[in-house]
Each structure stands twice: as C-alpha cells, then as structure tokens.
Amino acid sequence: MSTDVTAAHPYRPAVLAGGLAFVSGALSVDADYVPVAGRQEALDAAAERMAERLATVGGTLADIVKLTYYVTDLSLREEANRQLERLFAEARPARTFVEVSRLPYGATVEIDAIAQVRGDSTAPVA
Ligand SMILES: CC(=[NH2+])C(=O)[O-]
C-alpha cells in the first residue's frame, strides 16, 4: 500500500518530543482514502499506516509503548487482540480500545501510538 505520509495535512504523521514519538491517528483507508473492506484487512491497513507514520521519525513497532484503537464496531476487539499478539508477541504495549460513532473518510479503524524511539535516529520529520 502506498502511503500518505507526505500528503498535505495540517499535522505531521509523527512528532518527536522528549525522546518519545507521538504518531497521528492512522486510518484504515487506501492511498486514495477509500475505506479498506474486511475486518482483519481494516485492522491491518490501519496498523500498517501507523507503522509507516512512526517510521518517518525513525521508529519501529518494537519502539511502541502505547496504542489507542478507535473503531466503529467494538466487536473488532477480538481480532485486534490477535493482531497485537501477532505484531508484538511478548513485548506488549499498553493499549486503549474505544468505539466511536464515525471516523474520517468512512474508515472503520484508526490507530495512534506513542513510541520510545531508540538509537541514533536521523530520520527527518515529514
Ligand atoms: C486522520 C487524522 N489523524 C486526523 O487527525 O484527521
């Protein structure tokens, strides 16, 4: 999936502050902002886009300490739990999981994150 990390938005995909990376919410949409269909596919799309945003400040999934999931259907929680196990194994981040009435572009999932970016990152903020 191509990304929107360089697209024009009035916010940055991720911001470094005090050794932490704050990742803007990543939606389950494709490169044309069309909502990704399918429960697992939507979760995976949002996670992939969140990881791309984190990468703009040199972070990886291994750096994540907190996730927040916003979903339009709370019954996605079981699939989201399996996704977390798949992506993070034992290195489990903290998480908040909430149902919301609507998300931008008709997406069904949005994920944001806080990460502790390690190492000597020289990645520019996009
Ligand atoms: C999609 C998103 N992060 C926003 O703030 O609209």
Domain boundaries, given as residue ranges, for the chain: 14-116
Non-local CB neighbours of 81 within 8 Å, separated by 6+ positions: none
What ranges in the chain are assigned the alpha helix state H? 39-55, 77-88
**pLDDT tens digits, residue range 53-71?**
999 999 999 999 999 999 9
- This model of the complex carries an ipTM of 0.87
Give the Cα separation of 126 and 116 in Å (integer). Answer: 18
In short, whether 13's Cβ falls inside 6 Å of ligand 1 is no
Q: What predicted TM-score, i.e. pTM, was given to this entire model?
A: 0.88
Closest CA to 100 of 81, 74, 67, 80: 74
Fold of 14-116: 60s Ribosomal Protein L30; Chain: A; (3.30.1330)
Residue of the CA atom closest to atom 5 of ligand 1: 25
Residue where the block lists tokens 């919301």:
100
**Which ligand 1 atom is at minimum distance from the Cα of 112?**
3
